[in-house]
């Protein structure tokens, strides 16, 4: 949640800065909305994915044929990335993600806005220590357990895409949707009665064995290099 709020603050700052650009002829000459008639592609990365929990690298590509675009992002994370940012590799984890997306550049607001639909599939394996909920809805303490989480989502998005300094692509979006999330726990060590744990943000539910649907919020910024006409 903290990382999501950080991204929101950054994106709002970028929007305000973008509005100020419109009053600066020099900067405006280097920034333009990607035309709805443009065709080509891009390679990009998501810099803030390194700040997510868990940390991961997210890279992808886009193919644009006028108003329609097709994107595919791949994600990979490991506890070794956490060492870089937090100086601590615990807990151990592995994260894999596959994120296809379809977009349509609208005729609204001088073609600035696009609509998208993304279907991300992610798998995470992580060692966990803390309170858990079993299949019978009973909470318990696990000294250590291996957690496997599979999540499949459908996310509707709205965003804008610009080219700055001739070929540098900026792509900001927000959206929401529905996710199916399934947890499975194994190799449970030192089980016991549940314990009190601090909840810094007051919004985090206990991880529960099995699957359930939940809402999902999407917010992000891509940066990349554009190939093709603009």
pLDDT surpassing 50 at residue 150: yes
Between 101 and 83, the more confident residue is 101
Could you give phi then psi for residue 125, rounded to 5 degrees? -115, 130
At 21 the pLDDT is 43
Please give the helix or strand (H or E) that residue 181 lies within, else none.
Answer: strand 168-192
**Average pLDDT of the segment spanning 84-93:** 65
Structural domains in the chain (count): 1
Question: Tell me, what's the pLDDT at 79?
Answer: 82
Q: Which structural domain, as residue segments, surrounds residue 123?
A: 2-228
Residue 75 has pLDDT above 60, yes or no: yes
pLDDT greater at residue 129 or residue 125: 125
In 3D space, the residue among 160, 148, 67, 75 whose CA is nearest the CA of residue 112 turns out to be 160
Find out whether 163 and 169 touch, Cβ atoms under 8 Å: yes
Of the candidates 196, 92, 89, the one whose C-alpha atom is nearest the C-alpha of residue 144 is 92
Place of tokens 């590509």: 61
Over residues 174-185, mean pLDDT: 95
Q: Are 61 and 69 in contact (CB under 8 A)?
A: no
């Amino acid at each position: 949640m903290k990382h999501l709020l950080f991204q929101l603050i950054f994106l709002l700052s970028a929007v305000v800065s973008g509005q100020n650009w419109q009053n600066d002829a020099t900067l405006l000459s280097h920034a333009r909305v990607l035309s709805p008639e443009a065709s080509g592609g891009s390679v990009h990365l998501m810099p803030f994915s390194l700040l997510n929990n868990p940390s991961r690298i997210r890279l992808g590509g886009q193919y644009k044929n006028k108003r329609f675009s097709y994107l595919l992002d791949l994600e990979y994370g490991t506890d070794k990335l956490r060492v870089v940012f937090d100086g601590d590799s615990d807990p151990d984890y592995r994260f894999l993600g596959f994120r296809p997306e379809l977009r349509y550049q609208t005729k609204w607001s001088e073609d600035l806005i696009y609509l998208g639909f993304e279907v991300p599939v992610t798998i995470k394996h992580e060692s966990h220590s803390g309170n858990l909920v079993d299949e019978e809805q009973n909470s318990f303490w696990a000294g250590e357990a291996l957690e496997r989480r599979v999540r499949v989502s459908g996310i509707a998005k709205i965003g804008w895409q610009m080219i700055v300094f001739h070929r540098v692509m900026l792509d900001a979006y927000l959206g929401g949707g529905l996710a199916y999330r399934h947890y499975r726990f194994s190799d449970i060590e030192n089980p016991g009665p549940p314990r009190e744990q601090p909840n810094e943000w007051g919004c985090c539910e206990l991880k529960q064995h099995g699957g359930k649907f939940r809402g999902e919020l999407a917010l992000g910024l891509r940066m990349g290099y554009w190939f093709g006409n603009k």
